């Protein structure tokens, strides 16, 4: 409805007949001088603006192109979309290998550490001469003696704490 | 001077792209800039939008099929980019600030009477308050002298719609000035 009204008004005003007519029609309502003044204010630009604009624009285009290339390269190196599922599996496999490998390695080294002292102290008695055995026993006799004395002292202490009834019971057990 | 079509063909054939693009740019840059500046008024904004427009042209020129005039396509991109920019900035073109008023007064003090300065300010305010489409249609017709078919293609309307926008723009500005 509004459109029809507008078209009717346009026809009455003769809008679209010619450019000169349209300009003259606008100037009959609006101040021509002000209209040209308005145009002057919009055409005001800083000194040398249009001369420097192409170079400024081309260098911006160049830098944006470079940025896009860098982004593209970064994507290829780290996150190509078609590689993403494969990457997940590769990471998982690598993780398992590292974890499993370190578990086996640690287990081996611990058992070696435990086994090594025993292995190193294991001496075949047949390889030793009777002199060596005797000198070993002589050298370690006093240690055995101390061990026996200590054991006896311990037993005595235990017996001294027993009452008569307990002693009787022990005697009975021994005789049986 | 080579025509737009020749420059575009050479650009698309990848022969000396920068030189052909620069030639195209130099031919049209002023009109595009003025058109943008009439919508946003601030030079920094207009410069920013103009750069965005020409970057878009650089990116899309390979795919331009020359079904319409290059200038129609260029102005349409400029119009859309300006609208996008204004929406993003949420920056409506407002009436001139006191500083701007002072600039106009200083600029016209030497030649114009106080009355004409007042009319000038009124016209600027009135134009800035027009809806974007009416404003652009008025500018393209009155200042650039484009025909309605081209204007309709740029703003995405019919020829009748473009004429109606021109009519409404003039009438609204007139009413606004009378109210001052």
Number of domains in chain B: 2
Q: Is B105 on the interface with A (CB under 8 A)?
A: no
Residue reference for tokens 């000169």: A20
If asked whether residues B68 and B143 sit together in one domain, one would say no
If asked whether residues A135 and A172 sit together in one domain, one would say yes
The shortest CB-CB distance from A35 to any of B104, B123, B161 is to B123
What percent of chain B is predicted at pLDDT more than 70? 82
- What pLDDT digit, counting tens, does each position of A48-80 carry? 999 999 999 999 999 988 888 888 777 655 555
Enclosing domain of residue A102: 84-122
- What pLDDT digit, counting tens, does each position of A75-108 carry? 655 555 555 666 677 778 888 888 888 888 887 7
Chain A closest CA to B56's CA: distance in Å?
Answer: 10
Last residue of a domain, one of B67, B89, B111: B89
If asked whether residues B134 and B156 sit together in one domain, one would say yes
**Whether residue B105 has pLDDT greater than 50:** no
If asked whether residues B84 and B152 sit together in one domain, one would say no
Chain A closest CA to B66's CA: distance in Å?
Answer: 23
If asked whether residues A116 and A136 sit together in one domain, one would say no
- What pLDDT digit, counting tens, does each position of A144-163 carry? 788 878 888 887 777 777 78
Phi, psi of B152, rounded to the nearest 5 degrees: -60, -40
B4-12 and B17-40 helices cross at what angle (nearest 10)? Answer: 120
If asked whether residues A115 and A133 sit together in one domain, one would say no
Beta-carbon contacts of residue A41 (< 8 Å; ≥ 6 apart): B104, B107, B124
**What's the CATH code of the domain at B117?**
1.10.10.10
Enclosing domain of residue B13: 4-89
**Residue A7: inside a domain, yes or no?**
no
**Residue A145: inside a domain, yes or no?**
yes
């Amino acid at each position: 409805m509004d459109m029809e009204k507008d078209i009717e008004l346009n026809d009455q005003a003769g809008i679209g007949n010619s450019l000169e007519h349209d300009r003259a029609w606008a100037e009959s309502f609006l101040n021509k001088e002000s209209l040209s003044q308005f145009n002057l204010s919009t055409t005001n630009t800083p000194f040398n603006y249009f001369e420097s604009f192409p170079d400024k624009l081309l260098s911006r285009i160049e830098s944006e192109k470079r940025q896009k290339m860098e982004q593209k390269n970064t994507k290829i190196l780290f996150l190509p979309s078609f590689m993403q599922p494969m990457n997940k599996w590769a990471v998982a496999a690598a993780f398992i290998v590292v974890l499993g490998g370190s578990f086996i390695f640690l287990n081996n080294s611990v058992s070696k550490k435990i086994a090594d002292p025993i292995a190193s102290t294991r001496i075949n008695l047949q390889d030793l001469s009777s002199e060596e055995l005797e000198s070993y026993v002589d050298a370690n006799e006093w240690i055995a003696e101390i061990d026996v004395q200590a054991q006896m002292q311990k037993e005595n202490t235990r017996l001294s704490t027993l009452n008569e009834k307990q002693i009787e019971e022990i005697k009975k057990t021994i005789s049986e | 001077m080579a025509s737009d079509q020749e420059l575009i063909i050479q650009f698309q054939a990848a022969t000396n792209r920068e030189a052909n693009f620069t030639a195209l740019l130099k031919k049209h840059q002023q009109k595009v800039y003025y058109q943008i500046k009439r919508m946003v008024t601030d030079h920094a904004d207009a410069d920013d939008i103009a750069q965005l427009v020409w970057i878009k042209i650089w990116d899309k020129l390979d795919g331009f099929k020359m079904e319409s005039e290059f200038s129609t396509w260029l102005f349409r991109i400029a119009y859309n980019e300006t609208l996008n920019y204004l929406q993003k900035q949420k920056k409506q073109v407002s009436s001139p600030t006191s500083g701007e008023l002072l600039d106009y007064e200083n600029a016209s003090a030497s030649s114009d009477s106080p009355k004409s300065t007042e009319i000038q300010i009124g016209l600027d305010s009135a134009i800035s308050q027009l809806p974007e489409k009416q404003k652009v249609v008025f500018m393209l017709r009155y200042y650039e002298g484009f025909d309605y078919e081209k204007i309709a293609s740029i703003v995405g309307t019919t020829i009748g719609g473009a004429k109606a926008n021109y009519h409404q723009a003039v009438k609204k500005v007139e009413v606004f000035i009378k109210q001052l």
